């Protein structure tokens, strides 16, 4: 394989960096496949539920689809727990970072905050505050995140729900993660600024 000449970046030439840019572009093009592969590995994720983490993810996406949600919401629902293995203490932010370049700000925001909003359904059972989401009650995306959690995420632990398999969602994963990243269309300008 062709390689750069340098051993420290400061010594790199224009040819070196053109080569690396080309290889990085090829790597980016492989993202949809890597997303699907990472989702598959959720099959062996956190236990204790009646469904695996992969089944939970597929069911969350299936419910979004059944609600008539658009492709950005469906793919967000599919990947929202992708960080379970590598970022178990901030998995929502992990998934948000993955999808942020490809979808509008509202969708990224809901993925990023779903961990906090999900606490509404269980934190009180552990003697903790379930209303942490109230911090964002005036935020323009608050209702979208409540809806994401209420209708799709918190409900998707049911082994009897007609959940679609991963290959059903593969074309949508391919479409979203092949978009021009940070394009002005799908990514609203709010995404480039701190929003709460
Ligand atoms: Fe989650
Ligand atoms: Fe979830």
**Cα(184)–Cα(191) distance, rounded to whole angstroms?**
10
The ligand minimizing its distance to the Cα of 83 is 1
Q: What is the pLDDT of residue 46?
A: 86
Q: With respect to residue 6, please indicate whether it lies within any of the assigned structural domains.
A: no
Distance 6 CA to ligand 2 centre (A): 44
pTM of the model: 0.92
Q: Which domain holds residue 157?
A: 12-192
Q: What is the pLDDT of residue 1?
A: 82
> Residue 12 — φ and ψ, nearest 5°?
-70, 150
> Could you please report the per-residue DSSP string of the chain?
----S-SSGGG--HHHHHHHHHHHHHHHHTHHHHHHHHHHHGGGS--SSSS-HHHHHHHHHHHHHHTT--HHHHHHHHHTTGGGTT-TTSHHHHHHHHHGGGS-HHHHHHHHHHHHHHGGGTGGGGTS-S-GGGGGTTSTTHHHHHHIIIIIITT---TTS-PPPHHHHHHHHHHHTTSPTT-TTTS-GGGGS---
Distance 57 CA to ligand 1 centre (A): 9
Distance 91 CA to ligand 1 centre (A): 7
Q: With respect to residue 81, please indicate whether it lies within any of the assigned structural domains.
A: yes
Query: 74 near 65, Cβ under 8 Å?
Result: yes
Distance 80 CA to ligand 1 centre (A): 6
Closest CA to 39 of 155, 180, 190, 168: 168
The ligand minimizing its distance to the Cα of 117 is 1
Q: What is the pLDDT of residue 45?
A: 87
Q: With respect to residue 1, please indicate whether it lies within any of the assigned structural domains.
A: no
pLDDT tens digit at each of 196 positions of the chain? 899 999 999 999 999 999 999 999 999 999 999 999 999 999 998 899 999 999 999 999 999 999 999 999 999 999 999 999 999 999 999 999 999 999 999 999 999 999 999 999 999 999 999 999 999 999 999 999 999 999 999 999 999 999 999 999 999 999 999 999 997 554 444 444 333 4
**Cα(156)–Cα(46) distance, rounded to whole angstroms?**
15
Q: With respect to residue 4, please indicate whether it lies within any of the assigned structural domains.
A: no
Q: What domain count does the chain have? A: 1
Q: With respect to residue 7, please indicate whether it lies within any of the assigned structural domains.
A: no
The ligand minimizing its distance to the Cα of 154 is 2
**Cα(2)–Cα(22) distance, rounded to whole angstroms?**
11
Q: With respect to residue 3, please indicate whether it lies within any of the assigned structural domains.
A: no
Q: What is the pLDDT of residue 184?
A: 54
**Cα(153)–Cα(145) distance, rounded to whole angstroms?**
10
Q: With respect to residue 174, please indicate whether it lies within any of the assigned structural domains.
A: yes
CATH number of the structural domain spanning residue 19: 1.10.3210.10
Distance 74 CA to ligand 1 centre (A): 15
**Cα(57)–Cα(88) distance, rounded to whole angstroms?**
15
The ligand minimizing its distance to the Cα of 57 is 2
The ligand minimizing its distance to the Cα of 84 is 1
Would you mind telling me the total number of residues written for the chain in this entry? 196
Q: With respect to residue 156, please indicate whether it lies within any of the assigned structural domains.
A: yes
């Amino acid at each position: 394989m062709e390689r750069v000449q340098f051993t420290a970046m400061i010594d790199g030439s224009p040819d070196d960096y053109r080569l690396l840019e080309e290889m990085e572009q090829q790597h980016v093009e492989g993202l949809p496949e890597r997303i699907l592969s990472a989702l598959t590995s959720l099959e062996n994720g956190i236990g204790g539920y009646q469904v695996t983490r992969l089944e939970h993810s597929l069911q969350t996406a299936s419910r979004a689809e059944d609600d008539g949600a658009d492709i950005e919401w469906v793919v967000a629902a599919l990947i929202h727990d992708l960080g379970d293995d590598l970022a178990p203490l901030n998995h929502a932010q992990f998934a948000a970072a993955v999808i942020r370049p490809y979808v509008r700000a509202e969708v990224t925001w809901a993925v990023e905050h779903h961990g906090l909003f999900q606490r509404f359904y269980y934190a009180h059972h552990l003697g903790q505050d379930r209303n942490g989401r109230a911090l964002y009650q005036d935020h323009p995306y608050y209702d979208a995140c409540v809806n994401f959690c209420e209708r799709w995420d918190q409900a998707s632990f049911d082994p009897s729900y007609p959940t679609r398999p991963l290959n059903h969602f593969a074309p949508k994963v391919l479409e979203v993660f092949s978009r021009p990243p940070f394009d002005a269309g799908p990514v609203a300008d709010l995404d480039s600024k701190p929003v709460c």
